[in-house]
Homo-oligomer: A and B are copies of this chain.
Amino acid sequence: MFERPIFERMCLIGIGLIGSSLSLAVQRHGLVGEVVGCARSEATRQTALDLGLCSAVHADPAQAVGGCDLVMICSPVGTYAEIAERIGPHLREGSILSDVGSVKQAVIRDVGPFVPDHVHFVPGHPIAGTEKSGPEAGFAELFEDRWAILTPPPGTDADAVQRLAALWQGVGSMVDTMDARHHDRVLAMTSHLPHLIAYTIVSTAADLENHEQQEVAKFSAGGFRDFTRIAASDPVMWRDIFLNNREAVLDVLQRFNEDITALQRAIRWGEGEVLEDEFRRTRALRQGVIEAHQAGSFDPREPEKA
């Protein structure tokens, strides 16, 4: 166990959905003495102050990290290399540098070279999120009952890893540690491919004529609406994920393509048994999700009526 607060001063670089949720959660649970932040836009910095997400905000990440014993990068992964280069020389001795990025090999590749020897680099990824973005989208419960994955490079200080794990546990998460390459392969299946597919199907519908698109929205309760929700996620964040987990994504996509071709053929030739068998074998995985308490819940009624 670590005494609370676990960290004296945490710096968030990027204050969007994840950064703001983390700030609210660590403050609620008294895990961090002070939260400071850095964001690109004046609007986000002002909102962070107004909502009490940060006690101080900066435009320059190098300034923001000063005196912090935990620096958490919470911006799209495509911004990491530049941020790391800027902050590297300003990181406090003995501090931990971590992040929440959705890919991990690329983060180690981009950030690793800029981390001074006296700083512990422990990349991480909370498997939690919504389709919303920005500092106003955050809520303190986001990480409860969710897994946080840490991917410390070989040789990382064990105490630093444990200290960071304690922070994630403190906000309600379970923590798993694994190799970055394994992380990227698993997440390609559980997160990156689903988002790619959702973007694609909504894009297919967006190619329809205008009046047909209106019908698609009108009759979307038959299944399509769920895909539009997933495809509402931030375009820049997802562009960066696909650019930075190319190999693993292309690999699962290849397998998906083979599977859909098989179903396509079964539909074309009217092979009812093949279809039914395929549709039946997906049930065990749904059960697994429910048993792992990772299902969330969908209310088919409209929000204002629920």
Contacts and interface: CB of A to CB of B under 8 A. Distances in A.
B144 A305 contact: yes
Copies of this chain per assembly: 2
A296 B225 contact: yes
A225 B297 contact: no
Contacts of A225: 289, 294-296
Given A128-B300, A216-B285, A296-B300, A263 B200 contact: yes
Interface in A213-239: 213-233, 235-236, 238-239
A285 to B, nearest CB: 5
Contacts of A224: 189-191, 194, 289
B300 A206 contact: no
A262 to B, nearest CB: 9
Contacts of A49: none
Contacts of A181: none
A201 B194 CA distance: 8
A285 B212 CA distance: 11
Interface in A57-94: 78
B243 A253 contact: no
Interface in A197-215: 197-208, 212-215
Interface string A238-259: 1110110010011011011101
Interface string A149-175: 100000000000000000000000000
Interface in A242-297: 242-243, 246, 249-250, 252-253, 255-257, 259-260, 263-264, 267-268, 270, 272, 275-276, 278-286, 288-289, 291-297
Given A199-B279, A285-B206, A296 B295 contact: no
A94 to B, nearest CB: 31
B256 A201 contact: yes
Nearest to A130: B300
Interface string A172-201: 000010000000001101111111111111
Nearest to A267: B242
Contacts of A235: 275-276, 279-280
A149 B218 CA distance: 11
A248 B204 CA distance: 14
A28 to B, nearest CB: 15
B286 A232 contact: yes
B228 A289 contact: yes
B253 A202 contact: no
A221 B294 contact: yes
A278 to B, nearest CB: 6
20 contacts: A129-B221, A129-B300, A144-B305, A186-B212, A191-B222, A197-B260, A199-B278, A200-B260, A204-B255, A216-B288, A220-B294, A226-B226, A228-B295, A229-B286, A235-B279, A235-B280, A242-B267, A250-B268, A257-B257, A296-B303
